[in-house]
Chain A
Amino acid sequence: MSNEQFEPTIIGFLCNWCAYAGADLAGVSRLQYPPNLRTIRTLCSATVGPHQILKAFQKGADGVFVGG
């Protein structure tokens, strides 16, 4: 085990109409959160299938967040 603290990489699939707008609002409001997230804008959270979630893990994500 490494002594470094574990920092997960989280992939966020955000719905254009709500969660993505919410993430923008967090910025406009200057709300601070840890920079572990990588956001991907989607047309609708329902367009995110199990396939993409598994692919994200396959590519090295430690967590997947679907916001919609």
Chain B
Amino acid sequence: MEDQTKTDIRVGVFVCDCGSNIAGYLDMQALVDYAKTLPNVVHVQENLYTCSEGGINEIKNAIPKYNLTRVVVASCTPRTHEPLFMGACEEAGLNPYLFEMANIRDQCSWVHMKEKERGTERAKGQIGMAVAKAARLRELSRIQLGLTHRAVVIGGGISGMSAAMALGNMGYEVDLVEKSDRLGGLLNDLNLVLPAKEPPSNLVNDLAGRLNENPKVTVHTRSTVSKSEGYVGNFVVTINGDGEDKTVKTGVIIVAIGGRVLKPEGLFGYDGKMVVTQLDLEAMLKDGAPASKNVVMIQCVGSRCAERTYCSRICCMTAVKNAILLKEADPETKVTILYRDMQMYGVENEDMFRRSKELGVRYVTFDPASPPRVEDGKVLVHHLRMGREISIPADLVVLSTPVIAQEEAGDISTMLKVPVNENGFFLEGHVKLKPLDFATDGVYLCGNARFPSTIREAVSQGLGAAARAAIVLSKDALFTSGIVADINPDTCCGCLGCVDVCPYGAINYFEDRGVCQVNKVLCKGCGGDAPQRARRAVRGSTDSPTNRSTRRLSR
């Protein structure tokens, strides 16, 4: 081991009460006394809350005072609190990788609440192991990277436009890439937006006008992103427009490619004339209300079924909106909505639902096991409450079909190495904690590309994704974690097993030498390649496989 000599190792142990979460179930004095007996330990301290400002300051004060070269905190779980304590060490001038944690709350006091004595014994064991491991820790350095303070937004719909506008206003150069000939996306195909009954073109033209005037934003229409290389802060993206390739450097990429509306070929006699989709109806309404006097709408066409199990969520609102517009145009028009469940969450949507009922829109539930049948001039449906089939006259049938993923979602997923779900929608890094980030740093998502969204949600997500991206762009330099994998070129057999499993594309194969090498910037130190390492050539940078309590494997 090239560790520092024993005399250099001065361990400070901070034992946390966590209020009564730990102190209520374990013998704290016994833990403090035990820690004092451990090798290399020069300072032991009990804190009421080590993670509080007071506790953090005590760590920061003790490091210079006792000349500590290792810090151990015995408290909760490193999965939540390790970064905080590492930060405290760093601020006090100690390399943050010389920090170790003993989990005596989540994995001790909370699971042994009725066994104080034996629980305390376990906590002693955990602290003993942490102190032993701390002694073997080595300094690691974070890698500093420069970055390009620019953004690429893929998709010029309402969410992409919102993201580009926000970043442009923050002062960052933005390339907004739109595949069609104009900005606006799906909004261009809509008639009116409730509750203001506003044509969506107002919204689109306003935003597009401001984007075109913003000197920071470059709008590329009839363009696609055909290639992307690099990593957070340092991507190189190829934008293809008018048959020409242009490469731009960018720090972040926002995926806002939106979705499209399912065309229900072969369902309910869809023909685009007498049987249409809600999107077709929007186009008809743009030219004035259709002459139809008996309109029947069918919900959940092609969604919430075996093929597409998800609820598209926005089709109920669309149906209710269009039913209101038909009724307002001519109160004599009969509008019936056949539905399974109505999804009208939120204050305004519920008001809209109520208003439609006041106007006389009729709602009939159907059972997906016996779906409605569209016949010439009528729709037959099994009425659940009457217990028999009823016939509803219909000279226009409107099918509410879901928003589905864009065709190019798969290609973009492959290009940016970000995942899509079984329906082709992009998958965020964490459902609750990282809803607008991908697991891959520097790539973000918003709008229909993620999941069918209302305009309001798409705008919020666009603004949110821009804010997330600005966390990267606002920095002068980026630092990567010091915990990364390393491949020993002498033992690497070049089997490429690790390359196949790395979710971050961090491992490259060099044909000339027949070995793999880890890109330390891209590596997250997840350890996923470990099962693949045929000859144990890949190992964590501080891997010391000789002592069970000194293995420092995860950060």
Contact = CB atoms under 8 A, between A and B. Distances in A.
B536 interface: yes
Interface stretch (B140-148, B155-163, B449-457, B542-550): B542-550
Interface in A13-43: 15-17, 20-21, 23-24, 26-28, 30-43
B373 interface: no
B527 A56 contact: no
A42 B540 CA distance: 10
Contacts of A26: 106-107, 110-111
B492 interface: no
Given A27-B110, A27-B111, A32-B112, A46 B527 contact: yes
Interface string B247-258: 000000000000
Interface stretch (B117-125, B358-366, B399-407): B117-125
B531 A49 contact: no
Given A24-B77, A27-B110, A47-B543, A37 B527 contact: no
A23 B549 CA distance: 18
Contacts of B554: 16, 41-43
A43 B553 contact: yes
Given A16-B554, A28-B110, A35 B548 contact: no
Nearest to A59: B548
Nearest to B547: A55
A44 B121 CA distance: 27
A38 B119 CA distance: 11
Contacts of A43: 525-527, 530, 540, 553-554
A6 B207 CA distance: 74
Interface in B502-531: 525-528, 530-531
A56 B125 CA distance: 14
B334 interface: no
B388 interface: no
Interface residues of A, number: 34
Contacts of B546: 51, 55
B70 to A, nearest CB: 17
A32 B551 contact: no
Contacts of A42: 527, 551, 553-554
Contacts of A31: 111
Interface in B74-130: 77-79, 103, 105-108, 110-115, 118-119, 121-122, 125-126, 129
A51 B545 contact: yes
B227 to A, nearest CB: 31
Contacts of B543: 47
Given A35-B121, A56-B548, A59-B548, A24 B527 contact: no
Contact of A21 (B79, B115, B551): B79
27 contacts: A16-B554, A17-B526, A21-B79, A24-B79, A24-B103, A24-B106, A26-B107, A27-B111, A32-B113, A32-B114, A34-B118, A35-B112, A35-B115, A35-B118, A35-B121, A39-B103, A40-B129, A40-B549, A41-B103, A42-B554, A44-B526, A44-B530, A47-B527, A47-B543, A49-B545, A52-B551, A55-B548
Given A28-B106, A36-B122, A55-B547, 9 more contacts: A24-B77, A24-B103, A30-B113, A34-B115, A35-B112, A35-B119, A41-B554, A52-B548, A55-B546
Interface of A: 11, 15-17, 20-21, 23-24, 26-28, 30-44, 46-47, 49, 51-52, 55-56, 59
Interface of B: 77-79, 103, 105-108, 110-115, 118-119, 121-122, 125-126, 129, 525-528, 530-531, 536, 539-540, 543, 545-549, 551, 553-554
